[in-house]
Chain A
Amino acid sequence: AQRVTQPEKLLSVFKGAPVELKCNYSYSGSPELFWYVQYSRQRLQLLLRHISRESIKGFTADLNKGETSFHLKKPFAQEEDSAMYYCALSPYGGYNKLIFGAGTRLAVHP
């Protein structure tokens, strides 16, 4: 079964605190994993993808195949990071379809 699990519906932190948004996946093949973000009143947009190994807006995510995880991290949260974050899996040969987790709302307080 292809599944993405985000165990936390809400993560509330103070500005400057470290952030880790958890994501676990279930997929028998080699996964392509993404993090998408939805800021208030904006459309859903790509934040980062695992194959790029990039850092976007200070966020990083490492694919851990042993733990089937793709957690999103940022060492120092900013208020503008407050948004809804979705982890997504794209199965091989799926024409780039995305299977999303339930999402985690990140609230960064001043």
Chain B
Amino acid sequence: DAGVIQSPRHEVTEMGQEVTLRCKPISGHNSLFWYRQTMMRGLELLIYFNNNVPIDDSGMPEDRFSAKMPNASFSTLKIQPSEPRDSAVYFCASSLARSLNTEAFFGQGTRLTVV
């Protein structure tokens, strides 16, 4: 397995444009997480899914952010419209939420720059 796969690796977009980040979790994992990493705030949990169902989206900063998981092998995080303060590295992670202390596996991240 290639691990958690995120695309694109880098995204540069203009303010006001729509941005879509993609994630393919590890096959067989049933929990998926989206995190945002910034210098000021570190790693923040935005939203997470279990069995494709959103469980907690309280970390999503604004209505401009939305996430979907249409099936067990794909998730998207969309920002519309994007703003410069959304610039960050966005990580997707997956795990098998069957037992305690299950390790979360992270993707390489998408570095988003909004100009």
Contact = CB atoms under 8 A, between A and B. Distances in A.
Tell me whether A and B are bound partners.
Answer: yes
Interface of A: 32, 34, 43-46, 49, 51-52, 86, 90, 95-103
B108 interface: yes
B53 to A, nearest CB: 10
Contacts of B103: 46, 49
Given A49-B103, A86-B42, A97-B45, 16 more contacts: A32-B100, A43-B107, A95-B31, A95-B48, A95-B50, A95-B55, A95-B97, A96-B95, A96-B96, A96-B102, A97-B33, A97-B56, A98-B45, A100-B35, A100-B42, A101-B42
Interface string B12-49: 00000000000000000001010100000111110010
B101 A98 contact: no
A90 B103 CA distance: 10
A60 B92 CA distance: 27
Interface string B80-115: 000000000001010111001111111111000000
A55 B83 CA distance: 43
B101 A32 contact: yes
Contact of B101 (A44, A49, A86): A49
Contacts of B100: 32, 51
Contacts of A32: 100-101
B108 A51 contact: no
Nearest to B3: A43
A100 B93 CA distance: 13
